[in-house]
């Protein structure tokens, strides 16, 4: 029973911390912490810095340009990056499709796709969800018909995050309709510049454009863009989703947000006293801090298990649930801390370039939009209801 990092881990943490200090000018400090939106240039600058250091792909094998870290190292890196206020990078290329190509792609695919992911020259989006399917990911209706050296693809994807930025989309497509729904699915990479691709923005209640509908209308996709075998796409998707679980708890980010909330509570007043002296608000803060502590230690327990056994397993569902609840409570308390100034809703104010007049304290502008944004945390990646189903079936045998 040893709850602290060992010497090697501490050395690693110090190395990461020094790097973060060195790159401090890239972090957007207060702005990023206050929920302001980053420009693509800002994100790319951080991407390049990590790529240069060889840290852009923490979990990829070293021979493919990855850092080859174990789960604990990945966790330490995340904590330090968030603590230093570094931005979260789009991870559809790095964490999602990259490992799939490494494990199941052919040489041409590795050669073609991995480099631009590492360099940040190509952005990816995930074409899994379809209208009407919700959490039932295997209900794929988008069809791909083989035609010589190509597939002709038609259908529709939805909730496609950053499709409007992306150069490529990895998709699940149906290549066989005669078999069980999981067995007729293939994993296909589609160039977003292909004729027949239309991206329609979906505005969300936080006033943002992050997700999209993607219409795929007789799009010609070279057959060499098929990953692995035809009709085995569901296996690759499951592999991809299991990778998604690591880091799902969001401990690093939540710790950083909690630290920020603590600062806010010292300045915002209720009835003449700072919230840090208000018994009701403080009780909520304390409960949240303890939830976060329970999540952090449990996450470490799972990471060690993952390190020892290779995979996080279904127990990670409990991390997803509490992790998302904590993210939501953090956003809720931040909104509450803003008091009256949680009421104004000025999405433009979140652009660093906005030069209008702010209402209330700096953190307040993003507080309520962020509360709305965080509603998604318990919906995407398999809703918390689905996670409980998984726990009941896979862990409890019910």
Q: Spell out, one character per residue from 40 to 79, where the chain touches other proteins: x when CB under 8 A holds, - when not.
A: --------------------------------x-------
DSSP designation for 351? B
Would residue 64 be called left, alpha or beta, if left means φ above 0 and alpha means ψ between -120 and 50 degrees?
alpha
Is 151 strand, coil or helix?
strand
Structure tokens at 244: 């998604």
Min separation Cβ 248 and other proteins, Å: 14
Contact track, its own copies, 125-144, x by CB under 8 A: --------------------
Q: Which of 232, 241, 372, 381 binds other proteins (CB under 8 A)?
A: 372
Q: Which does 376 bind (CB under 5 to 8 A by kind): its own copies, other proteins, none?
A: other proteins
Residue 28: CB partners within 8 Å, gap ≥ 6?
A: 36, 38, 42, 85, 87, 352
3-class DSSP state of 92: helix
Residue 189 near residue 240, CB atoms below 8 Å: no
CB 21 within 8 A of CB 353: no
Q: Segment contacting its own copies (CB under 8 A): 8-16, 279-287, 368-376, 378-386?
A: 279-287
Residue 246 partner contact from other proteins, its own copies, none using kind-dependent CB cut-offs of 5 to 8 Å: none
CA 317 to chain centre: 16
Which residue in the list 42, 208, 244, 305 is annotated as catalytic? 244
User: Where in 167-226 is the site for other proteins (CB under 8 A)?
Assistant: 202-207, 211
Q: Is residue 289 classed exposed, middle or buried when 0-12, 13-18 and 19+ CB atoms within 10 A define those classes?
A: middle
Query: Which among 197-205, 243-251, 276-284, 387-395 is the span making contact with its own copies, rule CB under 8 A?
Result: 276-284
Query: Is residue 283 near its own copies by the rule CB under 8 A?
Result: yes
**Three-class SS of residue 246?**
coil
- Kindly tell me which residue out of 231, 344, 362, 381 binds other proteins, with binding defined by CB under 8 A: 344
| In the complex, least distance from residue 305 CB atom to other proteins, rounded to whole angstroms | 9
Q: DSSP for 106-142, please give it.
A: -HHHIIIIIHHHHHT---EEEE---TTTTT-TT----
Binder among 18, 21, 280, 392 for its own copies (CB under 8 A) = 280
Interaction between residue 397 and its own copies (CB under 8 A): no
Q: Per CB under 8 A, does 392 bind its own copies? A: no
Strand partners, 220: 152
What the block records as the tokens of 9 is 């881990």
Between 286 and 352, CB nearer to its own copies:
286
What is the maximum alpha-carbon separation in the chain?
74
Can 244 be counted among the known catalytic residues? yes
Instruction: Please state the closest distance from residue 112 (CB atom) to other proteins, in A.
Output: 32
Residues 210-269 that bind its own copies (CB under 8 A): none
Interaction partner, residue 25 (other proteins, its own copies, none; CB < 5-8 Å by kind): none
Per partner kind, with CB cut-offs from 5 to 8 A, the member of other proteins, its own copies, none near residue 268 is other proteins
Contacts of other proteins in 8-27 (CB under 8 A): 9
Among 195, 279, 310, 397, binds its own copies (CB under 8 A): 279
Extract the tokens encoding 272. Answer: 């003449």
Sites for other proteins among residues 241-300 (CB under 8 A): 268-272, 278, 280-283, 286-287, 289-291, 293-295, 297-298, 300
Beta bridge partners of 157: 214
Residues 6+ apart with CB under 8 A from 233: 172, 173, 175, 185, 186, 187, 188, 227
Least gap, CB of 369 to other proteins (angstroms): 9
Under the criterion CB under 8 A, does residue 384 sit at the interface with other proteins? yes
Q: Which residue number, 49 or 372, has a Cβ lying nearer to other proteins? A: 372
Cβ contact 120:44 at 8 Å: yes
- For residues 184 and 176, the answer to whether their CB atoms sit within 8 Å is yes
Instruction: Work out the number of other CB atoms within 10 angstroms of the CB of residue 125.
Output: 29
Tell me which residue has tokens 């919700």. Answer: 134
Which of its own copies, other proteins, none sits in contact with 380, Cβ below 5 to 8 A by type?
other proteins
- Looking at the Cβ atoms of 147 and 287, the one nearer to its own copies is 287
The rounded Cα 44 to chain-centroid distance in angstroms is 17
Catalytic site positions: 244
| Footprint of its own copies (CB under 8 A) | 279-280, 283
């Amino acid at each position: 029973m040893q709850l602290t990092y060992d010497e090697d881990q501490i050395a690693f943490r110090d190395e990461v911390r020094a790097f973060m200090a060195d790159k401090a000018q890239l972090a957007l400090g207060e702005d990023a912490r206050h929920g302001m939106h980053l420009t693509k240039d800002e994100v790319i600058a951080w991407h390049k810095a990590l790529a240069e250091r060889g840290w852009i792909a923490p979990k990829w094998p070293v021979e493919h340009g990855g850092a080859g870290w174990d789960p604990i190292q990945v966790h330490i890196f995340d904590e330090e990056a968030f603590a230093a206020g570094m931005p979260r990078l789009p991870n559809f290329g790095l964490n999602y499709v990259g490992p799939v190509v490494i494990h199941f792609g052919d040489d041409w695919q590795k050669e073609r796709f991995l480099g631009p992911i590492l360099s940040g020259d190509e952005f990816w989006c995930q074409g899994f969800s379809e209208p009407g399917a919700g959490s039932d990911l295997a209900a794929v209706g988008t069809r791909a018909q083989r035609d010589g050296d190509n597939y002709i693809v038609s259908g529709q994807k939805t909730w496609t995050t950053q499709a409007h930025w992306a150069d490529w989309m990895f998709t699940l497509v149906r290549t066989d309709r005669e078999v069980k729904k999981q067995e007729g699915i293939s994993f296909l990479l589609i160039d977003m510049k292909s004729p027949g691709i239309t991206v329609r923005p979906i505005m969300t209640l936080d006033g943002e454009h992050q997700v999209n509908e993607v219409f795929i209308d007789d799009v010609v996709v070279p057959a060499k863009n098929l990953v692995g075998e035809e009709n085995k796409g569901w296996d690759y998707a499951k592999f991809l989703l299991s990778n998604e679980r690591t880091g799902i708890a969001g401990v690093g980010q939540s710790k950083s947000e909690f630290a920020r909330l603590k600062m806010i509570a010292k300045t915002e007043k209720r009835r003449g006293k700072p919230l840090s002296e208000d018994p009701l608000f403080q009780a909520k803060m304390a409960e949240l801090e303890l939830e976060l502590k329970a999540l952090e230690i449990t996450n470490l327990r799972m990471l060690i298990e993952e390190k020892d056994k290779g995979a996080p397993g279904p127990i990670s569902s409990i991390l997803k649930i509490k992790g998302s609840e904590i993210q939501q409570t953090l956003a809720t308390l931040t909104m509450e801390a803003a008091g009256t100034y949680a009421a104004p809703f000025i999405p433009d104010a979140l652009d660093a370039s906005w030069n209008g007049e702010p209402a209330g304290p700096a953190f307040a502008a993003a507080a309520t939009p962020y509360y709305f944004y965080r509603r998604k945390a318990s919906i995407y990646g398999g809703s918390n209801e689905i996670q409980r189903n998984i726990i009941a079936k896979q862990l409890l045998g019910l």
